[in-house]
Every structure is written in C-alpha cells, then in structure tokens.
A and B are shown apart, each in its own frame.
Chain A
Amino acid sequence: MDEKQKTISIPSNIESIDQAVVQSVDFAKSMGFSEDEIFGIDMAVREAVANAVKHGNKLDETKEVNISLRNTNENLEITVRDFGEGFKVEDVPDPTNPENLLKANGRGILFMQNFIDIVEWHNHPDGGMIVKMIKNQ
C-alpha cells in the first residue's frame, strides 16, 4: 500500500468505531511506525472517534464522523470531524486530579495527548468539531 491520503466516513454508532481504527492503523503501518507507536495511534484514533461519535454527534446515526489520514513524509496527520455542537477542551476536567480519579469518563483526551505529538481542537466554520493529531516519524 502506498497511499498518501485516505478518508473514512462512519455512522455515529459504537460498532463502527473499530472499523475506523482498523483502517487508520493499516494506513499508519504502511508508513513504517513501530509497534509501540502503532499502539499509541490506535489508542488516539479510537479515543478521538469515540468522542466524536458519543459526545460530538451524540450517537445520532444520521450524522457521520469523517476521518482523514495524510502521510506528509515527515509525519502522519489525522483529522477527526464530527457535526455536533463543539466544546472547549479547557472545560474538560483534568482526570488526574484527585477529585476526578474515580469518575468513569473523561480520560480520552489525556490518552490522545499522551500518545500523539501534537493534538489541536478547532471549531469547523460550517459547524462541528475537528480534532487534528500529528504523529511525527
């Protein structure tokens, strides 16, 4: 496989998350990332897509989640877009604060930031949220 770019669209249901992750991981593998890096990419894409499906599109299957992957030759650029109302990443409570340790949710962003070199959140001008993640090679 020698693709430089790939786009994936999935409906907003839990069952489709794996499909997006598997295709993203295949793309990353074709770029020669190590096993540990692939683990991190798998984790980050899963968390970003799960957030888009659950919190962005609120499991509304009429709304898609769009994932784009780009091999820039220096890094892997991943964007995940939902069509929800958006959020401010700074409003998400720090899950490592003692008061939040026993909460069931809220650790996805922490994992994305831990495994990916650059993670940015933007509001799309036509609505929805875009997460852009860059993994250096």
Chain B
Amino acid sequence: MAELNISERQAGDVTILDLSGKVTIGEGSIALRNTVRRLLGEGKKSILLNLGDVGYIDSSGIGELVSSFSSVSKEGGNLKLLSLTQKIQDLLAITKLLTVFDTFDDEGEALASYS
C-alpha cells in the first residue's frame, strides 16, 4: 500500500496535486519530490498542493515541502498550499514556515492568487 497517493488536476495554468495519506520519511517524501520534479520538467511551474487529506506529515515531509517550494521558486514558479489540517498548520507554525508558504482554505481563492 502506498503511503501517499497523489492525483493531478489542471485548472488553467495551475496544476493541483491532491495528496492523500502520509508524507513521511521514505516513500511519501520521495513520491512528492518526483512528482514536482516531473511537473517542472514539463514546464508546469504553478503548483497548488492540496493537503486536505494528508493525515500525517513528519519533519522529512515538511522538508520535502520546503525543497519543492525552493525548486519551483528557482524555476520562476509558485508553489502554494491548500486546505491545511489543524495539525499541519500547527507544525508549520512551530517551524515558522507559515511565513514562507502562501496558504489557502479555499481553492477558488488559491487559483485566483496565481493570476
């Protein structure tokens, strides 16, 4: 059983990745890294990570979010976060990463922010 399932949707220029499961050390983190890398290779630089169904994330998963953010920014793109659970929001607050990521509760608002 995969730790993390990632499904992909396109809304205009924005690629939405719906994540469900666990983003933890090992498989989960690697799956996210590979998906973001592939999107960048395809020239898709506006990426919205929907974390609404992510039940668990550890420091390695948080690190992967940061690495993905940096890789996308380096290519001139934008990686933003949607639907943070309370737990993930707490972890991003502890690590002061809420100051780094643009986060949204509403998908429409998130998509509008790219234009």
Contact = CB atoms under 8 A, between A and B. Distances in A.
Interface in A1-47: 14-15, 17-18, 39, 42-43, 46-47
Interface of A: 14-15, 17-18, 39, 42-43, 46-47, 50, 54, 95-96, 101-105, 107-108, 110-111, 114
A50 B91 CA distance: 18
Contact of B26 (A17, A39, A105, A114): A17
Interface stretch (B8-16, B34-42, B96-104, B107-115): B96-104
Interface of B: 24-26, 56, 58-60, 62-64, 66-67, 69-70, 87, 91, 94-97, 99-100
A15 B58 contact: no
B99 A43 contact: no
A101 B94 contact: no
B56 to A, nearest CB: 8
6 contacts: A18-B24, A104-B64, A104-B66, A105-B59, A107-B59, A107-B95
Contacts of B25: 14, 17, 46, 50, 54
Contact of B60 (A39, A42, A50, A103): A50
B94 A110 contact: yes
Nearest to A46: B58
Contacts of B70: 102
Contact of A104 (B26, B63, B96): B63
Contacts of B95: 95-96, 101, 107, 110
A108 B59 contact: yes
B39 to A, nearest CB: 18
